[in-house]
Each structure stands twice: as structure tokens, then as C-alpha cells.
Amino acid sequence: MQYISTRGSAPALDFEGVTLAGLASDGGLYLPTEWPRFSETEIADMAGLPYAELATRVMLPFVEGSLSEDELRALCKQAYSRFAHDAVTPLIQLDHQQWLLELFHGPTLAFKDVALQLLGLLFETFLSRRKSNLTIIGATSGDTGSAAIDAVAGRDGVDIFMLHPKGRVSDVQRRQMTTVRAPNVHNIAIDGSFDDAQAMVKRMFGDAEMTSRFNIGAVNSINWARLMAQVVYYFASALQLGAPHRQVAYSVPTGNFGDVFAGYVAAQMGLPIAQLVVATNVNDILHRALSDGDYSAGGVTPTDTPSMDIQVSSNFERLLFDCGGRDGAALAEQMRGFEVSKAMQLTNSQREGASALFTSARADQQDVLQALRWAHERSGEVIDPHTAVGLHAALATDLNASIPMVTLATAHPAKFPDAVERATGLRPNLPARVGDLFAREEAFSELPGEYDAVKAFVSERASPAG
Ligand SMILES: *Cc1c(COP(=O)(O)O)cnc(C)c1O
């Protein structure tokens, strides 16, 4: 399988190439040249498979030329053995129509583990083939940092430097990063805000002195391999609910448009998805873009759902490319305009293409508390605030009664105990497997909010590209 950039001028790469590259050299994002498609019989034959086996079937067309079926199967088995539930992503029923797909049974209790556990293994496999090293630099306000650190800790060929704003991430989130003890993991507390940390990371990607010595990589959801791994749980859940003979709808709490784009990919591959509901909090650029074509960024309002406090959704570019006729030159032009003015209007073909599958809804703080309470009162389920944004959108959607609606449960409620307690009166406990988090020793370095200090720290510790 070959991959092309949404901006049309970067070279086509194979799966190994796009996994290590992350962003394309023309600033675009990689997508397969065409969508692999399963027949109804092939999908029916997937029913009842163990998760790692299903993952192998669904992802095989995408890795063709870079991994054999046996290699892929071995990586899937290893990645998904670290989940605390045998089903990996179990499906829970809330009422006659509403379901929850629990994606938080991985090591750091957020859905990002599902893709990052596999990505860590893919990095190790490809780097050892090339005899080279990768230096991952990231800034985090919480979930991404811990899931990425857990995924690459102790892996050969990879060093990770994760910046977090000192004193501004929750205790659980900080400890999930700083109690992972491996020589290739470097946690850095920066004096400053998340935006300051993020700006330093961006600067390092453009610093020729650094990029000539080190192979600098990213683990955010612009990486195609992450989206690919997320396609699998749409198949797993739809098969349980009767696909390919029955349609299924999904409501997806959305920030960077990665998780919900994976649903779009599943639909292109033949899964009978009736609708994808893009659920946003009050930072609602995607809701505005999908309802009236207005993609314009404002300031970010902090909410109880920090992983969705995003104004610019990187992966939306993938949808605009695929729906808008796959015209890389035109999209590059449109995105250049957006980068200057922070606003753009979707074209008619982009709007029509998107509206065939997507709808959207927005949840404010009151909506989130109500959805948390609804789940608890109707079915005794305690959900996290991000999941509650999705459930609010699911309940607000007018859907044929014969179609099941699945809300993606993206985080364990114990990661956000305060909001959960406000709504339900219950304070969720951390699961036993991470229960000693507060007893483990932390390790992190503190640096001033100055680029040169961070650059010197990374230069001294990272391994040359090789
Ligand atoms: C990252 C994250 C999201 C948003 O996912 P995207 O793929 O960026 O849309 C939602 N909920 C939680 C808990 C997350 O960690």
C-alpha cells in the first residue's frame, strides 16, 4: 500500500515510511492512495474473532509491503495483551438503543492506548530494520503524554522527551508520566503554560541544527498508524451489533478529529455505518464547520474535558481532502489561507461529501453533567466527562429506532474524579492495576521556559539519527 499527502507535493511512501515520517514534508497528512474494501461475506467472516486477530484482518491491507501477516499478528498480540479486559474494547448496553464502547482498559486509562501501544511496537520494528534512532518530542496537557510514554518506555531505538506545564496537569496525569522509569523516558516540567511548551516543540521541529543531528518524530494523531489502529474497534463493535446485516451509528467525543475519522475510514472499507456524530464541547469549531461550513478558530475555553479543548483539528484536513475530490494542490491553497487568517469556508463538494455521513452536536457544562447523571440513573454506569459529551450528542440525535447508537467511552472516570463526583455524588476509584500510582516514585527534570535550555537538555541526552 502506498500513501500520498493531502497537499499533493510530498513523495508517496509505503506504510513503514509514513509511520516514521508522521507529517508529510509538504505540511500535509498521509492517506492511502485508495481505500481497501471488504465484501459483505468477508465482514461476516470476522464475527467472533479475538481482538488481536480481528485487528490483523482489518489492518493487513494497510501494511502490505511493510509487514507480513504473521509479523502484524505478532505485534497485535503483544500490543493488546496489556489491556485489562480480554475483549480489549468491551461494549456495554445503556438502554434499548444506546451503547457504550469502553476504550479505556489500556495501561493509562484513555483510548489513546489502543493505538499508541501498537505504534510503540511499530517504531521499534522499523527502527531496528533501518538501524536508526528516533527522538520523539512532545508537549502534553495530559492524556497524550502518558499514553505515549507508556507505549515507548524501554523500546529500542526510541527516546521520548515529554514537556508538561509545571503545576498545571492533574496529579493523576503527572504521575502517570513521571512514575514510568525507563532510561529512554525524559519528563520535563516547564515553567510556563501548555502553549509555551507546545511552541518550543514546534520550534525544535524547525531547528536545522537539531533536525540534522536527530531524527525528530511526533506521536500525535497526525500519524496515520494511529488512525489505522482505531478503525479496528469500529469493526469489533459493529460486528457484535449485527453488522454487516445491520447498520450502526456512532457518537464520538472529538478534539483533533482522529478518532471519528477512523470511523469514516471503517465506512469506506465497507462497514455499514449509518451516521457519525461529531461531539464537541464549547470549543466547537468542528460543529460550526459541519453545520454551516464555517471553519474559523477562536480562543480556547478551558472545560472539564481538557482533551477536547482544541480549536484547530489537524485531522479534519484528511476529510476535506477525501470529500473534496482529493485535489492536493487546491487543498494546499485552502490550508495556506487558513494558516494566515485562521478562518476558511468549506467548498460545496466538501460540505456535501461530509454531510453524507457526519452530523454534529455541542455540549456545554450543563449538558455534560446531565449526560453523566443520565447514564448513572438509567443503567448504573459511571462515565467520564469526555464520554458524557459524546452521550449528550447521541441522545440529542434523531435516529431510526432500529439502529443502535454507540458512544465511544474515551477515558476512565477515575481520571476526572471531580466532575464525576459533582454530577453523581460518587468519587470513582482508580482501578487496582494502577492503584499504587500515588506510592510510586516520580522522576522529572525542571527547566525554565526557555527554548535554549530545552534544546541543550535534549541534545545532551538524545541518540543521533544513526
Ligand atoms: C484525545 C482524547 C479525545 C479526542 O480524540 P481525537 O482523536 O483528538 O478527536 C477525547 N477524549 C479523550 C479522553 C481523549 O484523551
The rounded Å distance from CA 92 to ligand 1 centre is 20
* Confidence at residue 12, expressed as pLDDT on a 0 to 100 scale: 97
* Confidence at residue 105, expressed as pLDDT on a 0 to 100 scale: 97
Strand partners of residue 190: 165, 447
Q: Give the residue extent of every domain in the chain.
A: 91-109+226-424
Model confidence pLDDT, tens digit, residues 45-85:
999 999 999 999 999 999 999 999 999 999 999 999 999 99
- Cis before residue 431, ω within 30 degrees of 0? no
Task: Kindly indicate whether the domain formed by 91-109+226-424 is annotated with CATH number 3.40.50.1100.
Answer: yes
For residues 281 and 308, the answer to whether their CB atoms sit within 8 Å is yes
* Confidence at residue 220, expressed as pLDDT on a 0 to 100 scale: 80
* Confidence at residue 433, expressed as pLDDT on a 0 to 100 scale: 87
* Confidence at residue 22, expressed as pLDDT on a 0 to 100 scale: 83
What is the Cα–Cα distance from 244 to 270, expressed in whole angstroms?
8
* Confidence at residue 457, expressed as pLDDT on a 0 to 100 scale: 98
* Confidence at residue 340, expressed as pLDDT on a 0 to 100 scale: 92
* Confidence at residue 298, expressed as pLDDT on a 0 to 100 scale: 83
Q: Note the pTM of the prediction, 2 decimals.
A: 0.96
The rounded Å distance from CA 307 to ligand 1 centre is 5
Q: Is 306 in the pocket of ligand 1 (CB under 6 A)?
A: no
Amino acid at 168: R
The rounded Å distance from CA 316 to ligand 1 centre is 14
Model confidence pLDDT, tens digit, residues 90-134:
999 999 999 999 999 999 999 999 999 999 999 999 999 999 999
* Confidence at residue 135, expressed as pLDDT on a 0 to 100 scale: 96
Whose CA is closest to atom 14 on ligand 1? 307
Q: Is 217 in the pocket of ligand 1 (CB under 6 A)?
A: no
HEC profile for 236-272?
Answer: HHHHHCCCCCCCEEEEEECCCCHHHHHHHHHHHCCCC
Strand partners of residue 250: 276, 406
Sign of the CA dihedral with 409 first, then 414, 417, and 423 last: positive
Report DSSP state, residue 412: -
Q: Which residues of the chain have pLDDT under 70?
A: none
H-helix or E-strand spanning residue 147: helix 143-152
